[in-house]
């Protein structure tokens, strides 16, 4: 019988009351692993109320004390890294090395949040006028929430709650119902690290839970990562209910390969960026853009044997380079995109649709797929596939290589591989995409910078983590101060000026 999961509320495991569940599978075997309770609207409101009750004391806790909780949380996550990585692999399907890497990228934001005493420092101007000083402070919002995707069940939640909690907010986390065990464990570790009960609550659910979070007046801000249609819905709905929103959507990340590029380096980069985590990354490179026919032919010649040789296997096997996709439904969806690409006339030079692993016939596996001669306007070019499928679009000129990602509906990430510094600088300046890599295939900024795309890849005015994350999870208060000595008696009916 499948294990029944729980919500984590007020420092306790709480059994679901709705009677509705979502099935959580092991993608490697296709077996039912557990059942996740889907919270009712009333249950979600109870979770939010619990967080609201915990807020005043946590907001009054000094930034230094909050930082110490973050230090301890980081220490506990590192001590439990193998356990957390295995939880990710068993429910998501990404290989253990990738799971550990994503955990580390999440912990880098926790490290950034450990500097919250410095990050919350305000500004002070002495003597802006006779006897008047002016200063600003940043204060927490209250209850904030994160709605996170299946593809990074540790990293993305930590990108959100580490900064939000360090700023003095209490946090309601609604993880993906496809792989919730790692987020639940993170909430337990946060309690063990010294965060009071209710500072980090974790509730599992579907659209009912999401809509309750988006509309409850006690939730002051919502952070989301997922597909573009849902990101737009989250942004619109939450904003209409007076909340701050940052909603990160889908992507179609291009990698430009210039004629002067080191093609062996570019090939290595494409293999890792396109097929790592079975392509289930919002920063995965899904479009290769070689410039010039000679470059394209040489690149395809190198890619084909590498894609065919990918070691696809169980997510926990040490030699696996690529594991299964997350669910049977998603596997069928990705294969459907490949079918459509063939019908549209793209050349499928490596076909991984029929891959079967002995002993794991019920797992959600497919091999890497590689398309050539993909055209602007094809469905496989315009839409996010979110699987191990790389499309090659041949560009004749550098200008066309800039135009392709710039004109695309998504604007998350882009990379250029070249030895020409002038071309790289020109590309980085002109391309209309939010994150750019120069000889770096997946340009995810480190924690002390900020993560976020443009156009259909992001909704809202602030991005994830870094200084923008601190601004998102705080409100600024400005104080103009004057003390009685030397104040002239009598009313002044003019607008105050600094004189």
Residue-level pLDDT at 130: 86
Which pLDDT does position 489 carry in this prediction?
65
Average pLDDT for 433-452: 92
pLDDT for res 208: 98
Close Cβ partners of 471 (under 8 Å, ≥ 6 residues apart): 138, 462
pLDDT of 185-220, one tens digit each?
999 999 999 999 999 999 999 999 999 999 999 999
CB-based burial of residue 239 (10 Å sphere; 0-12 exposed, 13-18 middle, 19+ buried)? middle
| Mean pLDDT value across the chain | 96
pLDDT at 193: 98
The radius of gyration computed from the CA coordinates of the chain, to the nearest angstrom, equals 25
Indicate the length of the chain as a whole number.
499
Contacts of 73 (CB under 8 A, 6+ apart): 110, 162, 189, 190, 193, 195
The 10s digit of each residue's pLDDT in 136-162 is: 999 999 999 999 999 999 999 999 999
Residues 393-398 have a mean pLDDT of 98
Q: Tell me whether residue 167 is one of the annotated catalytic residues.
A: no
Q: Has residue 304 got a pLDDT over 60? A: yes
| Burial class, 173, CB count within 10 angstroms (exposed 0-12 / middle 13-18 / buried 19+) | buried
User: 253-257 and 413-417: which strand pairing?
Assistant: parallel
The predicted model scores a pTM of 0.94
Share of the chain above pLDDT 70, in %: 99
CA–CA separation, 71 vs 438, rounded Å? 33
Q: Is 449 exposed, middle or buried (0-12, 13-18, 19+ CB in 10 A)?
A: middle
Residue recorded with tokens 């002239």 = 488
List, for residues 23-68, the tens digit of each pLDDT value.
Answer: 999 999 999 999 999 999 999 999 999 999 999 999 999 999 999 9
Q: State mean pLDDT over 383-399.
A: 98
Average pLDDT over every residue of 409-414? 96
- The predicted structure's pLDDT at residue 2: 78
- Among residues 87, 86, 92, 30, which one has the least CA distance to residue 276? 92
For residue 422, the surrounding DSSP H or E stretch is: helix 421-430
Nearest CA among 248, 440, 401, 180 for reference residue 188: 180
Contact partners, residue 270, CB within 8 Å, separation at least 6: 255, 285, 288, 303, 390, 441
Tokens describing residue 234: 């989250």
pLDDT at 487 over 60: no
* pLDDT tens digits, one per residue of 86-119: 999 999 999 999 999 999 999 999 999 999 999 9
Q: What is the pLDDT of residues 163-179, one digit of tens each?
A: 999 999 999 999 999 99
Q: What residues contact 195, with CB distance under 8 A and at least 6 apart?
A: 58, 69, 73, 165
Q: What is the DSSP letter of 18?
A: S
pLDDT of residue 483: 86
Options 167, 182, 202, 282, the catalytic residue? 282
283 confidence band (pLDDT: 50, 70, 90): very high
Q: What is the pLDDT of residue 445?
A: 87
Average pLDDT (379-394) is 98
pLDDT per position as a tens digit, 314-352: 999 999 999 999 999 999 999 999 999 999 999 999 999
Question: In the chain, pLDDT over 90 holds for what percent of residues?
Answer: 93
* Structural domains of the chain, with CATH: 3-249+457-479 (3.40.605.10), 253-438 (3.40.309.10)
Tokens 């309601």, residue located? 172
With bands split at pLDDT 50, 70 and 90, how would you rate the model's confidence at 488?
A: low
Higher-scoring residue by pLDDT: 490, 435: 435
The number of angstroms, rounded, from the C-alpha of 173 to the middle of its chain's C-alpha atoms is 14
What number is the average pLDDT over the span 484-497? 70
Quick one: DSSP state of residue 484?
S
d(CA 195, CA 199): 6
Q: Is the pLDDT of residue 484 over 80?
A: no
pLDDT in tens, 50-61: 999 999 999 999
Task: Give yes or no for residue 486 having a pLDDT over 70.
Answer: no
Does residue 1 carry a pLDDT above 70? no
């Amino acid at each position: 019988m499948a294990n029944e999961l729980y919500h984590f509320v007020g420092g306790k495991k709480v059994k679901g009351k709705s009677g509705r569940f979502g099935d959580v599978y092991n993608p490697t075997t296709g077996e039912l692993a557990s059942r996740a309770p889907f919270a009712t609207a009333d249950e979600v409101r109870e979770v939010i109320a619990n967080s609201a009750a915990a807020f005043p004391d946590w907001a009054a806790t000094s930034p230094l004390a909050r930082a110490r909780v973050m230090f301890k949380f980081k220490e506990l996550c590192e001590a439990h890294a193998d356990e957390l990585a295995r939880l990710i692999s068993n429910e998501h399907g990404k290989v253990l090395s990738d799971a550990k890497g994503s955990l580390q990228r999440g912990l880098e934001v926790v490290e950034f949040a450990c500097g919250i005493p410095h990050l919350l420092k305000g500004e002070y101007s002495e003597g802006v006028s006779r006897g008047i000083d002016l200063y600003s402070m940043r204060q927490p919002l209250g209850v904030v929430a994160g709605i996170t995707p299946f593809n990074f069940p540790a990293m993305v939640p930590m990108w959100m709650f580490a900064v939000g909690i360090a700023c003095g907010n209490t946090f309601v986390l609604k993880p993906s119902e496809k792989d919730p065990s790692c987020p639940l464990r993170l909430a337990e570790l946060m309690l063990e690290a010294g965060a009071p009960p209710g500072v980090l609550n974790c509730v599992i659910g579907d659209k009912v839970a999401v809509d309750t979070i988006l509309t409850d007046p006690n939730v002051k801000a919502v952070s989301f990562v997922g597909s573009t249609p849902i990101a737009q819905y989250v942004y619109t709905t939450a904003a209409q209910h007076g909340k701050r929103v940052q909603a990160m959507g889908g992507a179609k990340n291009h990698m430009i390969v210039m004629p002067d590029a080191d093609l062996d380096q570019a090939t290595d980069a494409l293999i890792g960026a396109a097929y790592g985590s079975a392509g289930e990354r919002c920063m995965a490179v899904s479009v290769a853009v070689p410039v010039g026919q000679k470059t394209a032919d040489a690149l395809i010649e190198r890619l084909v044997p590498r894609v065919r040789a990918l070691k696809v296997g169980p997510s926990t096997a040490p030699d696996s380079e690529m594991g299964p996709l997350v669910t049977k439904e998603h596997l069928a969806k990705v294969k459907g995109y490949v079918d459509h690409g063939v019908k549209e006339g793209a050349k499928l030079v490596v076909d991984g649709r029929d891959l079967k692993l002995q002993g794991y016939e019920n797992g959600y596996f497919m091999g890497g797929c590689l398309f050539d001669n993909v055209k602007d306007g094809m469905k496989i070019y315009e839409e996010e596939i979110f699987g191990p499928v790389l499309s090659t679009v041949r560009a004749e000129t550098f200008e066309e290589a800039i135009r392709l990602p710039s004109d695309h509906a998504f604007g998350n990430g882009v990379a250029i591989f070249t030895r020409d510094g002038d071309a790289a600088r020109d590309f980085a300046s002109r391309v209309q995409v939010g994150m750019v890599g120069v000889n770096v295939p997946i340009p995810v900024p480190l924690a002390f910078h900020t993560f976020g795309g443009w156009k259909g890849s992001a909704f809202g005015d602030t991005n994830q983590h870094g200084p923008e994350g601190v601004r998102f999870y705080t409100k600024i208060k400005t104080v103009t101060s004057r003390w009685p000595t030397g104040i002239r008696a009598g009313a002044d009916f003019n607008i105050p000026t600094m004189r």
